[in-house]
Structure formats: C-alpha cells, structure tokens
Chains A and B, each alone.
Chain A
C-alpha cells in the first residue's frame, strides 16, 4: 500500500495494511495524527453545542398540533380509501393521457381512416358535429345520448368535434359523479366528445 492508496481507502477502521503503512511512512503518520487531533477538537466543539436545543415554543406548537389532529390515526382506519384514491388518480391520468394524445390531431372527415391505425383501445370517428346536431341533436348542440361534462365548454354551432372511445374504470366514473354506473363490475365503454381545442366536452356510454 502506498500513500495514495492509504488515503483513498481511508476509513475509521485501521486494518493491518493501513497500520503497517503508517508505521513505515512518517508523513502519513503525522497527517493521521493531525486528523485525530482535528476530530478530537470537533468533538470539543460538539460538546459545547450539545446544550443547544430548539426553543420550548416549538414543543408547545407541536404538541398542540398533535392534539388537534387527535394523534396519528391508526393505518387500518384510513387505508380503506387509499385504493379508491389510487385508482381515481390512475384513471384521471389515463383520461388525461388520452386527451393529450388526440389533442393536436383534430382529424377531418376525409382523414378519418388514417386514425384507425391508432393504438388499440382508441377507436376514432370524425364528423361534422354541427350537421349531426341538426339531424339528431337538441338545442344544446349535443346528441341526446351525450351527457355534458361538468365545467366543460359547450360545442359551438360550427365547431368540428372528434369522438374517442375509451374504457372508463369505475373509480373514474365515481370521480365524474356517475355513481350508479360505477357500481357495475368492471370498466364501462364510453365515447368521449372532444371539441376543436382537444378538450373533452361530453360523454356517451355505449354499453347500454
């Protein structure tokens, strides 16, 4: 072992090889001694600082917070909703991903076949929605089967829309307020109407 190897592998444990080198190398031995003295001095500094503690008001504030929340609730009492929350988050992420994927495409009627090569699970249709509304819709611009999503914009009279078919898990149905449908086992197929801005406007369940 040379000096470089000694200080590269330097740890608190002094193995036999390190000890032998220190016996043979006065420079490294002196350096080691300086380190020992430094560490001892740091311990002196530490001892002086040992009495330093957080002010009492910190403990008082924490105890008040602990009491206010009733301690820490046992895991078993809170875990029931964690899976629901996880699934809802996953469903929301899937939905957002779907919207993101179709947002910039805005396919026209003649280009619809190209979109049929989209990944499985997404079935595309493109139509002139204003015509459809005239033929089948009501005064709101939606087909009777479509349910407007909360906080979504209305479809304009000349706005071109897209439909995307998705599988909606029960947790996402719950999040959207469709409690009765969420009670069914398994995911539900639905057509989501996307406006020209790529945002979801309404949903139609297709498994009825």
Chain B
C-alpha cells in the first residue's frame, strides 16, 4: 500500500480502472475522511455521512463516472458528487442541521460589537461555539465554509464542487465568515437590543 503514497489521485484512478484493488483502497483511504466529514457537516447525521461516502466511491467505480481531469482535480469532483448526494438526501427529508432559512442574501455586513467573541475562540468553549455556529449556517454558506475553511480546498476545487464560478465562492465565503462572526456575537451576548447596534462605518 505504501507504494501508492507517492502516486497522484489520477494515477491511482487509472490503476483502479484497470482492476488494481490496492489502488482503489489507497485512493479511498486518501479521500474518504474529507468526504465523510463534509457529508457529516452538511447533513449532521453520521448515518447519512456514511451512506454518502459509500455512494461517492461507488460512483467512482463506474467507468462512465464523468470525471474529467481537465475540469478540475479528482478531489473537487468527489466533493461535488458528495454535495449532490447530500442535497438529494436533504430533499428527501433527511436531517439538516441548518437552523435558519436558506435565503439570507441580505446579510448585513459584520457588526461592530463591544466584546469580541473571537477572544473566546482561544478557549475550549469558544471552539465549541464556533462549531455550533458553523452547523447553524444556512446551507449555501455552510458548504463553502466546510470546503474552504475546514477542508482547505482551494477556490477552484470548491467552485467545481459547488458548480459555481470562483467569484461566487469568494463572495459566499466572505458572507459566511461575516455571518459566523455575527452568530458568535449573538451567542456570547444573547440579550435584547442587538438590533440597535449600528454597523461600523468608515468615512475614507
């Protein structure tokens, strides 16, 4: 198995297509964790994440799986398949951990708050709060945060996985981060009157 460590995903894919089981296992072990975590973040369900992971690699076994190396990396392609499977599962009524409606296009810019919630992020409870905030994001923002910030995909691969232009990935990521900061602020200070806070303005 160690002989496959230096091989690229595409090389392993070629080998598995010629019937090399070791190449299949090596590719699976290399990519399954990220796919499983993505599905877990998106569905909130270990069972759903398990099903998605299995189905993604079943698709890869098919000769006509549709992967085109010229359009992007195998990693981006696999995330794209996983995303479609997750969305299909959500449409069928499986669990979705989003706590807010998925129509938050008018998200306000980052609020200026008096106590910085990020100070807490250096502590254990702060990390837990951040994890909750990620899972409470609307789907379109959660998926871009999971891909770019948690799984550290580059924008090109994230765009391939999400089926959108790179510019859309950037703008959604920017909004998602602003929304995360807002959620963290609200969680830290859940008192009434947040709406009275004014956006920080810059006069330059």
Contacts and interface: CB of A to CB of B under 8 A. Distances in A.
Interface of A: 2-3, 7, 10-12, 21, 24-25, 27-28, 31, 34-35, 37-39, 41-46, 48-50, 52-55, 58-59, 61-63, 65-67, 69-75, 78
A62 B54 contact: yes
Bin chain B's interface residue count: 35 or more
Interface of B: 16-21, 24-25, 28-29, 32-33, 35-37, 40, 49-50, 53-54, 57-58, 61-63, 109-110, 112, 116, 118, 121, 126-127, 130-131, 134, 145, 149-152, 155, 170, 174, 177, 180-181, 200-202, 204
Contact of A63 (B19, B24, B112, B204): B24
B177 A45 contact: no
Given A63-B21, A63-B24, A45 B134 contact: yes
A71 B18 contact: yes
A58 B32 contact: yes
B152 A41 contact: no
24 contacts: A2-B202, A7-B174, A10-B174, A31-B200, A34-B110, A34-B116, A38-B118, A38-B130, A41-B127, A42-B150, A45-B150, A46-B149, A46-B150, A46-B152, A52-B40, A54-B36, A58-B54, A59-B32, A61-B54, A63-B21, A67-B21, A69-B61, A71-B16, A71-B18
B127 A44 contact: yes
Contacts of B202: 2-3, 25, 27-28
A63 B17 CA distance: 14
A41 to B, nearest CB: 4
A167 B1 CA distance: 57
Contact of A45 (B16, B130, B155, B204): B130
Q: From DSSP, what is the main secondary structure of chain B's interface residues?
A: helix
**Which among A7, A42, A52, A65 has the greatest number of chain B C-beta atoms within 10 A?**
A42
Contacts of B28: 59, 62
Contacts of A45: 127, 130-131, 134, 150
Given A39-B149, A42-B149, A54 B170 contact: no
A78 B127 contact: no
Nearest to B150: A46
Contacts, number: 127
B181 A41 contact: no
A43 B35 CA distance: 17
A65 B149 contact: no
